[in-house]
Chain A
């Protein structure tokens, strides 16, 4: 009796511990209707597996304990039973059918696209995301890149890691609460996958192919996910952060962004001082260039060449700009013309030509970049 009591209290303590860890130990329930349905489905299958496992292994361990030779058990001689074999073919089949019904229902609900309130194009890049907001007529209004902001010092263990280590970005994707948002997912280069666990949605971003996803998030908040398809070197460093905003707040933000897009288009005509250029250039460099060319500009040859005292950073300035705009085909050097605005390109060119002991001695202004783009600079 005492033993039973001890056993019960140990079991109770274990249950308590596991309950407090339950969030960490199980799938996230998430915040959308779909993610809750998926969670419920997950729990149903899980418990079915637990029950089957308990019965099957229970029988096995009972047999292991009792049908031992050391316990004096003599081997029986039976080796087939048609009735039993039919039973354990039919019963699992029935269980599977019972499992398939809710699974099918949830899947059909997930495929209910259409009737959306807004559309966002999600585009994977090595190694960041781009979000393009489309208006009701599907005209692109504004777009931005969303890249990791966790400092290299934290990643290289030189600084304490923040709460959202590896799960923080410069520009969050912002969507309104309570509206059906459709995501059109595709990729620039290799296959990525866009996943927000709390929404219960994940889809591959395939170059040349469009995929669709949708969600309705009832609760404003910040939700984090990660790229889930191996996409090269920095696959582990391209998080997804979605900020779900109250509807009015979102609308205000959206209108402001549309206006800002126009303002930024004008910003390229500005003339900056060399100090401003160097300062901005360093920021652009650390966001877009440093993961390959490294903080000291030395790169990781041969894949990522050095920028210190090389033909590019000391040679003709316009070739330097073109290289950044158009990239180098067949290498990891992307065409940054689509990602950076003219001001950012001018700043980073200025920086690369005057950092780490480089001293080209020239000045690059946004207008120089715009001229090279033949006046065809697209918004943002």
Chain B
């Protein structure tokens, strides 16, 4: 622990350096946010944007859950229900989870590798400002004649082509913009990590968040063009009489699913790998013990990323495939359990014989480990092809992917926000409010999604606006949970605003067990940090 005390002196040094460099601060007013190239400003905008999208997507989820509170149609027409489920999925995946991780990357990548900013600051500004327009267009289509996207977030052809509402063209345009934003963001992150690390930070000394984001960014570069290709083919089928997915012209609707999931499965890991990185920072910090098995963590992330390219058809077991194909995708999918297991075992070994305290980030991180693993278990069950025939497209699948995305990806983001909040704002959030937020979220998430396992096993299909009477109890519980969870995220907003406004001042290293170059900076981190590369010591990075 003695190293920790030393580094607080470093922090003071850098802030002096920064002033000596004669750097100007942020511009005033709206121009600051429109034209900023500062990674901290852009990171902040990404985070607030994703939170706004999270609330919009959340409202849609609550509309869906209100309709499903009881059997019968109470509030919505089926055609509007389908628009709500579709847009909830699209907004949460592309508008909330992904931009939140990019926002965290913007804040943390330069500070964790000891760089002054991102490698391509102007492109960074552009890749953020594309997003509000992309989602603006997509949400606007909801108010157009014929409605917005209503074909599920997986937009299977021909429901999304021949049978789609007219607004599908705007949806395609919006997806292209999101893709362009993600590709630019990824190029920026990779260029920063590969070229701007402080001297002495070799690849195998990089913080886990950097490692996971490096691999995620490569995944994004590989699959975003695939998504763009899929929607472009849709566009041609709709407007230029081609027949990529139209059986009549010799095309194949099943090909759409192959292409979509070739993008879609890596996309699933894009949403979870950075979460692994965040949790790998928080658990060691609050266990006051180094991360167990750093090397195997890196290899596990890399092998998960590799496997993600050869498992896509496990989303399509019921589509009709030769036996050999089914077996291949079943085995390859089961294999993912091995590196995922390694990560979970490593986190638990990190806690083992530590000296643990349970501040809010740690609570969210522990909940992440437990609930993500449960999502992993149901994922393993889904990999078993014969059993998947019974689970496929039921609420069991809904429960599964919400367990990996909500207490998985989302909890890690929330944990990360609490963990780095003092560094960003220079204030401490209220620990007791944070804990209330945690317990509300934890209860809400389980009350919402755990019963969905049961309704799925009992035979309730997903994406239905109404259901048979035997599913009524589970749906009622699930809807109640959803409202608890939804409103506890408004409480999260309150905790954050309360922290910004009246939090106690934070020291440079508010968590005594936290390691990493970012903690050598004062809190709040100065507008321009690491204008001179810092000294990388074994105390701060993996030794």
Contacts and interface: CB of A to CB of B under 8 A. Distances in A.
Instruction: Please say whether the chains A and B touch (CB closer than 8 A).
Output: yes
Interface of A: 24-28, 37-38, 41-42, 45-46, 49, 52-53, 56-57, 59-60, 63-64, 67-70, 73-81, 84-85, 88-89, 92-93, 96, 99-100, 103-104, 106-108, 110-111, 126, 154-157, 161, 163-167, 189-191, 193, 195, 197, 200-204, 206-209, 211, 225-237, 300, 302-303, 330
B430 interface: no
Given A67-B353, A77-B290, A78-B292, 18 more contacts: A25-B457, A38-B387, A60-B348, A60-B370, A75-B353, A79-B350, A84-B345, A107-B323, A161-B72, A166-B71, A191-B156, A200-B390, A202-B389, A228-B393, A229-B156, A230-B159, A234-B78, A300-B77
Given A28-B458, A79-B293, A207-B253, A69 B390 contact: no
A225 B459 CA distance: 8
Nearest to A208: B247
B387 A45 contact: yes
A64 B156 contact: no
Given A154-B72, A302-B146, A161 B393 contact: no
Given A41-B386, A80-B294, A228-B394, A63 B351 contact: yes
A38 B390 contact: yes
A218 B440 CA distance: 49
A24 B466 CA distance: 18
Contact of A96 (B290, B335, B369, B392): B335
B254 A42 contact: no
Interface string B132-156: 0000000000000110001110001
25 contacts: A25-B458, A38-B387, A53-B373, A67-B287, A69-B357, A76-B353, A79-B294, A85-B293, A154-B72, A155-B73, A156-B72, A161-B72, A189-B158, A189-B163, A191-B159, A197-B459, A202-B318, A204-B318, A208-B248, A209-B247, A209-B254, A211-B320, A226-B461, A231-B159, A300-B77
B319 to A, nearest CB: 5
Nearest to A30: B390
B335 A230 contact: no
B338 interface: yes
Interface in B323-372: 323, 326-327, 330-331, 334-335, 337-338, 341-342, 344-346, 348-358, 366, 369-370
B79 interface: yes
Contact of B468 (A76, A88, A157, A164): A164
A107 B385 contact: yes
Interface in B270-292: 287-292
Contacts of A104: 327, 330
B464 interface: yes
A203 B289 CA distance: 51
Contacts of A68: 355-358
A80 B330 contact: no
Nearest to B396: A27
B454 interface: yes
A60 B369 contact: yes
A197 B394 CA distance: 11
A27 B395 CA distance: 12
B28 to A, nearest CB: 45
Contacts of A84: 345, 349
B389 A163 contact: no
Contacts of A93: 338
Contacts of A96: 334-335, 337-338
Contacts of B247: 206-209
A65 to B, nearest CB: 10
Contacts of A155: 72-73, 466
Interface string B289-318: 111111110000000000000000000001
B295 A80 contact: yes
Contacts, number: 277
Nearest to A59: B348
A190 B337 CA distance: 34
A246 B71 CA distance: 34
Contacts of B464: 226, 235-236
Contacts of A164: 468
Contact of A88 (B158, B345, B392, B454): B345
Contact of A193 (B151, B356, B387, B393): B393
A23 to B, nearest CB: 8
Contacts of B292: 78-80
B461 A236 contact: yes
B289 A56 contact: no
B467 interface: yes
B318 A63 contact: no
Contacts of B466: 155, 166, 236-237
B468 A56 contact: no
Contacts of A193: 318, 392-393
B280 to A, nearest CB: 12
B338 A89 contact: yes
Contacts of B126: none
Interface in B148-174: 150-152, 156, 158-159, 162-163
Contacts of B163: 126, 189-190, 232
Interface stretch (B102-110, B212-220, B374-382, B483-491): B374-382
A296 B27 CA distance: 62
B384 A103 contact: yes
A49 B380 contact: yes
A167 to B, nearest CB: 5
A85 B344 CA distance: 12
Contacts of A28: 457-459
Nearest to A79: B290
Contacts of B78: 233-237
A99 B393 contact: no
B330 to A, nearest CB: 7
Contact of B293 (A57, A80, A302): A80
Contacts of A303: 79, 146
